[in-house]
Structure formats: C-alpha cells, structure tokens
Amino acid sequence: MKLRAEISGEESEVEINRTGDKLSARVGDRLYDLEVSEPEKNVYLFKNGGNLSEALVSCPLSTGDPYSVRVGSLELDIQLTDPKRLRGSAVDLHAVGGKAEIKTAMPGKVVRILVADSDEVKKGDGLIVVEAMKMQNEMRSPKDGKVAGIRVAEGETVGAGDVLLVVE
C-alpha cells in the first residue's frame, strides 16, 4: 500500500507491506522491517530488532483530519493520503439515474453500517465503516439522498471495488 504522509509540514512517500505480524515500511529512502501488534485498541507495539516502541494513535474525528500519534514524549499530527482514493475509486458519481455507488478502495472488513435501507442522508453523513490494514475508514455520502440498497453485512470481508451500498 502506497501512501503520502505529512508530518509537521514535511511530506514523505510511504510504502507499507504487511504479512501477518510482520510489517515492512519504506519512508522516503529508509526501510524498516518491524513486528507489530495491537494489544489494545489504538495502542500499537513496534519491535525493530531489539528495540520496542509503543505508539498511541488517536483516530481522526472526521475524514481529512490528521491522526494524532504519541511515541514516548514525542507527539505528532500525521496526515495520511491514499493517492488511489484521490482518483475517485471510493465513490462512483457518474452512475445512471443519479445513483452513487459507495465502493471500497481496498480489501477489508465491514466494521459498522451506520444507516438503514431507505434512510434519508445528507452529503457528508457517515454511511459505513470499513477496516483495512488495521485502520478504520468511515465512508461518507457524496450527496443528499436516500439509501437505496445495502449490499453487505457487518463483519463481512469485502474486496477492492466492491459496491457496499447505493445512495440515490
């Protein structure tokens, strides 16, 4: 997974590959091979050789807000951007009849469905939460309308590009 990270105004390219509890992360020209675990929600342990670090992560309150990360006495605000999402992979606004299909950008698991079929929604309302790579992403309505079909269930595994629900 390739991301862009902005930390204190400095932007870096980040590439993350995960296999089980092994994590390989390239930040700019630096490569890190880590073992990672999440003993509690939003608490991550990173083992790099003989060094162990704990990171406390506060998830953004809304889409576009930075993550607040504390490692020891160091506190960072980190803005992550997925270049694939910027290309519009999450929402199909050109669907026939004014329907918007809410799609996943990457494989994951449906954590919560925040609406019911036939609910009225406003642009920006949260619709569904999908977890991918240990990060929860709330997908929001791209327009005012009505939920016209929920195509997944909580706990279901979804693939990249799968339609989760439709707003018309």
Of 3.40.30.10, 2.40.50.100, 3.40.50.720, 2.40.50.140, which CATH number belongs to 87-167? Answer: 2.40.50.100
Which phi and psi (to 5°) does residue 83 adopt?
Answer: -55, -30
pLDDT at 112: 94
pLDDT at 63: 61
The C-alpha atoms of residue 132 and residue 1 are separated, in whole angstroms, by 11
H/E stretch holding 70: strand 67-71
Report DSSP letters for 12-52, one per residue.
EEEEEEEETTEEEEEETTEEEEEEEEEEETTEEEEEETTEE
- Which stretches in the chain have pLDDT values below 50? 86-97
pLDDT at 117: 93
pLDDT at 116: 94
pLDDT at 127: 93
pLDDT at 86: 45
0.75 cut: is pTM over it? no
The C-alpha atoms of residue 99 and residue 101 are separated, in whole angstroms, by 6
Cβ neighbourhood burial of 101 (10 Å; 0-12, 13-18, 19+): buried
CATH 3.30.700.30 fits 2-81, yes or no: yes
* Residue ranges per structural domain of the chain: 2-81, 87-167
